[in-house]
Chains A and B, each alone.
Chain A
Amino acid sequence: EIVLTQSPGTLSLSPGERATLSCRASQTINTRFLGWFQQRPGQAPRLLIYGTSNRTTGIPDRFRGSGSGTDFTLTITRLEPEDFAVYYCQQYGNSPWTFGQGTKVEVK
């Protein structure tokens, strides 16, 4: 099983600041099968990024995914009020599919 470790656990930032979220895998992941989800309180998750760097339809370009091998990053270039949420990385190339434990982006 591929273990995904996200850091930091919590990121305290102000609107307008840049957020950098890390996802490290226990073994190499095919970049085609790495995604990022956002979950706001009381809502279902939604897919932001698939295939490491491709934004899902309707996702603003301030969300940027990058990485390769075992190290992947989600960058939110300028935080908007609606971006304060929990973010999960996921690998869906090897069974069992696995998620990181999540990074909470909170208002400083």
Chain B
Amino acid sequence: AQSVTQPDIHITVSEGASLELRCNYSYGATPYLFWYVQSPGQGLQLLLKYFSGDTLVQGIKGFEAEFKRSQSSFNLRKPSVHWSDAAEYFCAVGDEGGSEKLVFGKGTKLTVNP
């Protein structure tokens, strides 16, 4: 069965610094990969997705992610973090059984220091 690993439970960065959130997946074929953001007490908002094609995908709010098949990774990046980016970030992979289910990582909480 597929799985998603987000190695970092909590990351703290200073406002204006660059950010990289790690995500590794286990999947048999070409995965459908997603990054979602969740603000406290809120639902999830899609930041970006990868289905095929260009391995560097651009998302909303200045985020991007790069799919690296050789490393089974889909790391999320942002060149300059804003205080409003403080939130929980979830990486997810589509269920290889074709059910449209998503398998989520445990999440990374981002704290932004002024």
Q: Do A and B bind each other?
A: no
